Structures are given as structure tokens and as C-alpha cells.
């Protein structure tokens, strides 16, 4: 059985671990996640990242651009898996970093960290193909259930995968959600994973995703005021330019960290660096492009066409 350092050396070569090692790694990470609250407090300086979606070589590029752990502290806002070629290696790398440097990386749950979604969008099939059974997928899904729902940076910047909920007015209401379960189909937990900001509405509207809500500037302003926040950072939506403020007050920003999403969208990616003075402006965002095809291994027998948005 390997150690976290040995696992990291293997995974960084884009090789996956033997099944017993993955089982051990998942158990170690679950123990660490058990200690974290639903809204995990994080101190500045910290770098905030959006969706990765199994784009392993682009995750390595993200660390080249933003700095390696433990020199840089990171928050990843979910959606580590599905759609890309290397969901297994991507999530395993993030777990091994968590096991080795637990205070330097905070992993939030996204809507794809779910049994139901991963059975449709690629992670289940990838585990089945690589191991010949679903055991590793099951171990990873148990970790998903323990992932925290949000992070709060210096008490002022809330990081969450999707967005707000009509059932949540205060941060304390998020803190009381029972989180160690599959993501429900509706309610506060679901909404935090699935909702999207929408500039053309004030309050709430039905989401075309079939889960979560669309929420407007008025709702966001009130939520930030009630909870003493200066900014909400979230992911969940592809942004061609890597990051985007949703509303005129610049109090909610989408951060997207999967460049050339699904290997065909042509977008740039970004990470958001928050320093000790909590000032977030254009200089806080580092943009990066996808790794060129010749620098990534594309698995045999996988056509891009089978991955859809």
C-alpha cells in the first residue's frame, strides 16, 4: 500500500492507482472531510477554481499557472469529474493532494459529484473501463457524500458551486443542512449545487436545467447584505472568457477552470487569486489556455463526439 507522496508521483504521470490504494485514499479523505463544516472557513491568500471536468492535463496546467500545493492554497468549487477523458485521475490527484496537504486544499461538492449524474456523463463508465468493475466508482461516490457545500474566505467571500436558494436566507441555514447524502432533487442542498444567476430577473425564476433556480441581482444583494459578504464566487456555467460578473454591482462572479471545455468549446479558463486585503479586481484573475493536443495523451477508442455538453 502506497503513501500519499507515492500516490502523487504516480498520478502526476496520469496513471491510476491500484484498487486497494484508491480504497485507502478514499477512506483517508473521508476522515478529513468529516472534520469540515458545511461552510468551511478558509484564510487568505487563496486561489479559487471552477469546474475541471476530468481535464487532467489542463489541471496540471492550472497548477503551473497558479502555483503548486503547498506553496499555494486552493479552493476547488466542484465538478471534478465527467465529460473529460480523465475524471478518475483528476479526482484522484485532488484527493491525494488533500490527503498529503489537508490544510492547503479545500474541495467543494458540485452537481456532478453525484451517483446519478456520474452514471450518465462518463465517470461511472470510465471507472468500469479502467478497473473492470464499479468498486472504485463506489468508493469515490462515498467521498462525494462527505464533500463540503461551501467555503468562506476571511468571513467575506462565499464560494459555492452553483448558487443561491429561496430556502436559504442566512449562512447558518446552510450550516444545518445534512450533507452526507446523495444530492436531493429539490430543496436548499440541491439549489446550492444547481442554481444560476440571471441578469434579466430580480428575484427567482424556474431554471431550464430542471433543478435549482435562476436568481437575480436583488436576491444576491440581499443575501450578501444579510450575511456580511462582499462577493459570491461560483462555477457551474461555461464562460468563454474564463470569468464573468453576473450583475452590475460585481458582487457575484462565475469562475470557469476547464479550458477548451469538452475539447471543443474554444474557451479560455481562469483562476481567481484572493489576497490578504480581499480586493478582487481584474488583476486577481489568471487566465490560461488548454494544453495543446500533442502534450496530452488522448485515450484510444475515445472520440470527442461521445462527450456532450
pLDDT in tens, 224-249: 999 999 999 999 999 999 999 999 99
Q: For 72-119, what is each residue's pLDDT tens digit?
A: 999 999 999 999 999 999 999 999 999 999 999 999 999 999 999 999
> Are residues 25 and 96 in contact, defined by beta-carbon separation less than 8 angstroms?
yes
For strands 150-153 and 157-160, give the pairing: antiparallel
Question: Would the pLDDT of 61 be above 70?
Answer: yes
pLDDT confidence of residue 258: 99
pLDDT at 110: 99
Position 306 confidence tier, pLDDT thresholds 50, 70, 90 = very low
Q: How close are the terminal C-alpha atoms of the chain, in Å?
A: 38
- CATH architecture observed for domain 4-289: 4-Layer Sandwich (3.60)
| Confidence grade of residue 152 (pLDDT, cut at 50, 70, 90) | very high
Q: Is the pLDDT of residue 153 over 80?
A: yes
**pLDDT(14) > 90:** yes
| pTM over 0.85, yes/no | yes
Q: What count of other Cβ atoms lies within 10 Å of the Cβ of residue 71?
A: 9
Look at residue 298 and tell me whether its pLDDT is greater than 90.
no
> What grid cell was written down for 123?
465517470
pLDDT in tens, 270-290: 999 999 999 999 999 999 999
Average pLDDT of the segment spanning 248-275? 98
pLDDT above 90 coverage of the chain, percent: 94
**Is 200 considered catalytic here?**
no
Q: What is the pLDDT of the chain when averaged over all its residues?
A: 96
Choosing from 53, 73, 112, 161, which is the catalytic residue? 112
Residue 101: per-residue pLDDT: 99
Where in the chain are the domains? 4-289
The CA distance from 289 to 256, in Å, is: 12
pLDDT at site 307: 37
Instruction: Characterise 144 by phi-psi region: left (phi > 0), alpha (psi -120 to 50), beta (else).
Output: alpha
Q: How far is CA 112 from CA 53, 120, 133, 161, in A?
A: 9, 10, 20, 10
Indicate if the pLDDT at residue 300 is higher than 70: no
Amino acid at each position: 500500500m502506497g503513501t500519499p507522496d507515492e500516490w502523487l508521483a504516480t498520478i502526476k504521470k496520469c496513471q491510476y492507482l491500484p484498487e486497494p490504494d484508491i480504497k485507502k485514499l478514499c477512506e483517508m479523505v473521508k476522515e478529513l472531510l468529516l472534520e469540515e463544516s458545511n461552510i468551511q472557513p478558509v484564510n487568505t491568500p487563496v486561489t479559487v477554481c471552477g469546474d475541471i471536468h476530468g481535464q487532467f492535463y489542463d489541471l496540471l496546467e492550472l497548477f503551473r499557472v497558479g502555483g503548486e500545493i503547498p506553496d499555494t492554497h486552493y479552493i476547488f468549487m466542484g465538478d471534478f469529474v465527467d465529460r473529460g477523458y480523465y475524471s478518475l485521475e483528476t479526482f484522484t490527484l485532488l484527493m491525494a493532494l488533500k490527503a498529503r496537504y489537508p490544510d492547503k486544499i479545500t474541495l467543494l461538492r458540485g452537481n456532478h459529484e453525484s451517483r446519478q449524474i456520474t452514471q450518465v456523463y462518463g465517470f461511472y463508465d470510465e471507472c468500469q473501463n479502467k478497473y473492470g468493475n464499479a468498486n472504485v466508482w463506489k468508493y469515490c461516490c462515498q467521498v462525494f457524500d462527505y464533500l463540503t457545500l461551501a467555503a468562506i474566505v476571511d468571513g467575506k467571500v462565499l464560494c459555492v458551486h452553483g448558487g443561491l436558494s429561496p430556502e436559504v436566507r442566512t449562512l447558518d441555514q446552510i450550516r444545518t443542512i445534512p450533507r452526507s447524502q446523495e444530492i436531493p432533487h429539490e430543496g436548499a442542498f440541491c439549489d446550492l449545487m444547481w442554481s444560476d444567476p440571471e441578469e434579466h430577473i430580480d428575484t427567482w425564476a424556474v431554471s431550464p436545467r430542471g433543478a435549482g433556480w435562476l436568481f437575480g441581482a436583488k436576491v444576491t444583494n440581499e443575501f450578501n447584505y444579510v450575511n456580511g459578504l462582499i462577493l459570491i464566487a461560483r462555477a457551474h456555467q461555461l464562460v468563454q472568457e474564463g470569468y464573468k460578473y453576473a450583475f452590475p454591482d460585481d458582487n457575484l462572479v462565475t469562475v470557469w477552470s476547464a479550458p477548451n471545455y469538452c475539447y471543443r468549446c474554444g474557451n479560455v479558463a481562469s483562476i481567481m487569486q484572493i489576497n490578504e486585503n480581499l480586493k478582487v479586481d481584474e488583476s486577481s484573475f489568471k487566465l490560461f489556455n488548454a494544453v495543446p493536443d500533442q502534450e496530452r495523451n488522448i485515450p484510444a477508442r475515445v472520440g470527442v463526439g461521445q462527450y456532450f455538453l
